[in-house]
A and B are shown apart, each in its own frame.
Chain A
Amino acid sequence: MLSPRKPSPLKVTQPVEVALILAHMSGSLGQEKAKAVVAAALLKLSLPGEGVLAAEQAELLLNAIAEEAGLVGLAAKVTKQMVRNQVAPLKATF
Chain B
Amino acid sequence: MIGIRDYKKAASLEEAYQLNQKRGNRLLGGMLWLKLSRNSVQTVIDISGLGLDKIEETGEGLRLGAMVTLRQLELDEKLVTYGGGAFREAVGRIVGVQFRNLATLGGSIYGRFGFSDVLTLFLALDATVCLYKRGRVPLRDYAALPYDRDIITHLLLPKAAPLAVAYRSARLTETDFPLLTCGCAVRSDALNIAVGARPGRALLLSGLEKYAGRKLKDEEIEEIAAHAAATVPTGSNTRGSAAYRTHLVQVLCARALRACFRKEDGCGADADS
Same complex: no
